[in-house]
Amino acid sequence: MSQDSNVVVDKGKSSFSDLWTKEDYWAIWLGFLIIATAFFLYFNFTPTQEFKDQIAQQNAVMETEAAKAPFKTIAWYKAKDAKGKLKAADGGVGKFIKHWTASPGSWSSNPVEAFILSKERADAKNEAAKPKYEEAKAKTESAFALAQAAETAAAAASFQNVDLNDDAKAKIEAWHALKKKESDVKKKVSNKPYNRIPTLVGLCVALALFFSIGMKFMGKEPLGFMQGFVVVFGVATLAYMMGGQAVAKQYGVGAEAWGVIIGMLIANTVGTPNFVKKACEVEYFIKTGLVLLGAEVLFNKIVAIGIPGIFVAWVVTPIVLICTFIFGQRVLKMPSKTLNIVISADMSVCGTSAAIATAAACRAKKEELTLSIGLSLVFTAIMMIAMPAFIKAVGIPEVLGGAWMGGTIDATGAVAAAGAFLGEKALYVAATIKMIQNVLIGVTAFGVAVYWCTKVECEAGKSVGWMEIWHRFPKFVLGFLSASILFSMIDGSLGGDMGYTMIDNGVVRGFTREFREWFFALSFAAIGLATNFRELAHYFKGGKPLVLYVCGQSFNLALTLGMAYIMFYLVFPEITAQI
């Protein structure tokens, strides 16, 4: 295999025909086809005016209650909860999409339940969880009675008695917290029978046809792709099944890791058949998914957490990336500059997404990209479990712990899971900082493209034209940024409440995210199937890639923790107090 056929992108040249013959552009077209379809369906077949009326009604109640009492009353919380239940994805469009994109379900001891859950088994699960639900329900009712009595007492004093107000506030908050717990427990008594085999078969066929359109125009063999795609989809489905197992879920070993593991087991035992290799389009799948990820990274979320989060995400990240790259070249003497920069970006920015963008910008070999992603998956799984445990053990505050994890753990999903282990504040801060950091995917790719064209591959006596930067720039990143800007503008024009109902809990959670998660699962399955340990062995000479990742991540952990503490607790403590 020649070097050019083994790099993440082709030679640096561009033409008008690239718009329909290149992978990056097809990722954009397919991603925006899904986005356009989502907007059309949700804004034409959901009761938008009804949502507006209900939101206005609940907001009026909240305003009245806020003016009446110096604390959030029971009626205020009920109105807020009623508004939070307004989700476009709960309507007909959302139910249809979720039905046909559903992944295998959760299971404990019988893997068949991931695909088929009988009515008898669903009823048995509901009955088993019923005692805990009844207990939670009783606690909520008892707390509600106390909250109601406390609020009545405060109202009798015209809300002028500070002690009565404080007592009412505390008891109402306690009731609302128990109500949320009851809602979580209620989900465990709401199991319904299902058979996901027909929908999985239908989804496999639909996605095979969906991606084969681009394969045809890119000059590849659509029929061969579709034949191999069945196996790739099968591995992704098995990965979802294994990720849904109770113990695997408990330890955070999700479908991403299982996709790589199962794929590698096949590739390094019986071997990946040649017809399957035709469908191992790692970059094609994940680039399309990354365009859809742009819909989830709204710029207004940057404002929500303010300047502290920007410092943690946008100042620390480039420092770590540059220092790690220099360390790899000057101290470790890494033989491959492309492997060095891909690992540095993978570890410092946001894992797989940044690795793909950076590998495309510097034209890294596919094996180098695979190695980088493999290291990221291993350390993400470790850090997702170890960091929350360490933070709790040493007593680090939730906000600081969330900021620390958001800036260091690679995958967005793993960040959210780790934040949830600590609490709501940690989850909010961690996820927000990670999404702020995700914006750097495009910036990182552009910076690497500039550096590679002007420094690394610039021969003596020759100059590299600025157009070469455009040739090397991963075009799919433009789709990611465009989707982010588009969704930010639409979300802003709708307003916070309607944006929550129609965009976040409609177009995104009820459409684009469903497909994005499957595209990521397909890419990880393809990575595993395309990975042969013998081909990767020479990259571990002296263990340098592993040493680079460990040293870089250690520096990242120290610098991020220091910056988070300075920004959130020394420079902007008032912002932290409001989180």
Residues 287, 477: Cα–Cα separation, whole Å = 8
8 A C-beta contact, residue 211 and residue 34: no
Q: How far apart are the first and last CA of the chain?
A: 54
**Tokens for 187?**
């989900």
Cα 484 to Cα 492: distance, rounded to the nearest angstrom: 12
Q: Give phi and psi for 108, each to the nearest 5.
A: -115, -60
Gap between the Cα atoms of 285 and 26, Å rounded: 10
Please give the pLDDT value at position 13.
65
d(CA 333, CA 329): 5
Residue 494 pLDDT: 92
Rounded distance between C-alpha atoms, residue 25 and residue 386, angstroms? 39
Are 353 and 438 spatial neighbours (Cβ–Cβ below 8 Å)?
A: yes
Q: What amino acid occupies position 497?
A: D
Delimit the domains of the chain by residue range.
4-40+198-578, 47-87+115-194
Let me know: does 211 contact 229? Beta carbons within 8 Å: yes
Tokens matching residue 141: 């009712």
Number of H helices, E strands in the chain: 30, 2
Mean pLDDT by 10 residues, the chain (579 residues): 49 75 92 97 95 96 95 96 95 96 94 95 94 95 96 95 96 95 92 96 97 92 95 96 89 78 90 93 86 76 68 91 95 91 90 81 83 82 84 93 92 73 80 78 80 71 55 75 89 91 95 93 87 64 84 96 94 82
CB 495, CB 81: distance < 8 Å: no
Q: What are residue 185's phi and psi, to 5 degrees?
A: -70, -35
- How far is residue 21's CA from residue 45's CA, in Å, rounded to a whole number? 34
Q: Give me 18's structure tokens.
A: 């690239």
In whole angstroms, give the CA distance from residue 199 to residue 205.
10
* 3 state SS of 383: helix
pLDDT at 473: 65
Tell me the C-alpha distance between 398 and 423, whole Å.
7
List beta partners, residue 194: 117
The DSSP letter of residue 426 is: H
Q: How far apart are CA 335 and CA 541, in angstroms?
A: 10
- Rounded Cα gap, residues 192 and 123, in angstroms: 8
Sorted by sequence, the CB contacts under 8 Å of residue 193 that are 6+ apart come out as 117, 118, 119, 121, 122
Q: Phi/psi of residue 114, each to 5°?
A: -70, -25
Nearest Cα residue to 324 out of 51, 62, 516, 559: 559
Cα three-residue angle 497-501-504, rounded to 5 degrees = 105
DSSP, res 195: E
The CA distance from 196 to 86, in Å, is 27
Q: Which of 222, 152, 138 is nearest to 182 (CA)?
A: 138
Burial class (CB in 10 A: 0-12, 13-18, 19+), 446: middle
In whole angstroms, what is the distance from residue 324 CA to residue 551 CA? Answer: 8
* Residue listed under structure tokens 């021969």: 459
Q: Say how many CA atoms lie within 13 Å of 306 toward its Cβ.
A: 13
529: part of which helix (H) or strand (E)?
Answer: helix 513-529
CA–CA separation, 467 and 458 (whole Å): 14
215 in helix, strand or coil?
helix
Looking at residue 468, what is its pLDDT?
Answer: 54
CA geometry: angle 487, 490, 496, nearest 5 deg: 100
Query: Which pLDDT value is given to residue 480?
Result: 82
How remote is the C-alpha of 136 from its chain's centroid? 31
Q: How far is CA 378 from CA 146, 522, 557, in A?
A: 49, 18, 16
pTM for this one?
0.76
Helix (H), strand (E), coil (C) string for 478-493: HHHHHHHHHHHHHHHH
Rounded-to-integer distance, Cα 86 and Cα 139, Å: 26
The pLDDT value given to residue 485: 86
Closest of 418, 406, 342 to residue 560, by C-alpha:
406
pLDDT of residue 464: 47
Closest by CA position to 427, among listed 377, 384, 367: 384
